[in-house]
Copies of this chain bind each other. A is one copy, B any other.
């Protein structure tokens, strides 16, 4: 990369149009419609002009609804630098298809422009053959960085980190630290907050905020002014733990070391933002029984394929409720009104199950709930269920008394309701905590499992109590 290019970048960077964040949906849509029109006209010049006018972040959001061919048409003529930024943002799943429509050498040029962590994400998403070809076409330095980063699990600190960091030997001075900065591009420099201090074997010893480089004399020895023992994480730490670490210590950037303490990368808060958002989407998806992959997916067939196993699992569980009801066939024959309240029992059990399990699943993710205080949490939920259960029991007693006019049925219903809500609270709290202790992600199994268990146990309690107390077995 030449200095020429570097200057060009700096001045170009801020002439782009950035959409007004207070009216984002409407502004994005207006641009989307312009792209749609130019695509219909196959007007490649207008497409290029429009794509160049927008900031890469906005552009990647605006073109999200287009399919791969349309996206390729829009991006094909974009120059390497904005294209690199757009590719870092767009949906990784369609990259392989998109790259099949572009020239390998062009792609390699574009990927060289990307920050090393984003370049690695992109290449990691490609099919092996395609990835190898692109790597081969890249320049040596960038290829080595990406090849190194590719060896780490994408969901760990190693998968989040980039190679764009400046270092200075502990024996050096402030001037040396500033000198190391000169080897970076303007884009990379804008992202830097610290210079890291290392010993002769690259072990992380300290850090210097850029401001302390500015406010000390060039000949000041690093050892006298550096911050010692800076915070760091190891390369194999799970990304969720990395995110918690950023939030606990209010970090903006963080060095990453390997098992031997050697500095191997740095993570910045903007990458962690994506982790926090993705992990939350994952929690919601699992609780709701959908897959993360279906966000942004257009094909009903693929969505159906990803949801069907979950629905079938629920259906298998529901065979239990059918069998419970069939078991109490005689009771229902003797008192059809019994069946009127089956949905009420089920829906209350369901509500309590969702409330309690969501609080545990989210609480475990944010650190509000932990294994060592689970008895406390369980007691809180049992207490809550006793209070809300009593209130709801009184209400359904009145309801049943008014609608059916039988106080004995109303009493059984009220008692059942309290027991059912208590059971739902214990299952909704206990099952995810148990799964967490067993090392299983509680969000995965919580939704369907708890709901089905609550339905079956709820109906057993209700119909069992009614049959027993109202004398409905045989001929009542």
Contacts and interface: CB of A to CB of B under 8 A. Distances in A.
22 contacts: A14-B229, A21-B233, A21-B241, A25-B370, A28-B372, A29-B370, A32-B372, A272-B273, A280-B281, A288-B354, A300-B381, A300-B386, A304-B387, A307-B355, A311-B352, A314-B351, A318-B348, A319-B399, A322-B340, A322-B344, A323-B403, A326-B337
A237 B22 contact: yes
Nearest to A301: B387
B384 A307 contact: yes
Contacts of A299: 380
Interface string A349-371: 01110110111011100111011
A390 B53 CA distance: 47
A242 B250 CA distance: 18
A252 B10 CA distance: 17
Interface in A237-252: 237-238, 241-252
Contacts of A41: none
A184 B379 CA distance: 49
Contact of A359 (B11, B245, B294, B452): B294
Given A270-B246, A399-B322, A215 B387 contact: no
Interface residues of A, number: 157
A323 B403 CA distance: 8
Interface in A373-389: 373, 376, 379-384, 386-388
A25 to B, nearest CB: 5
Interface stretch (A103-111, A133-141, A185-193): A185-193
Contacts of A272: 269, 273
A34 interface: no
Interface string A325-342: 110010011001101111
Contact of A372 (B10, B25, B277): B25
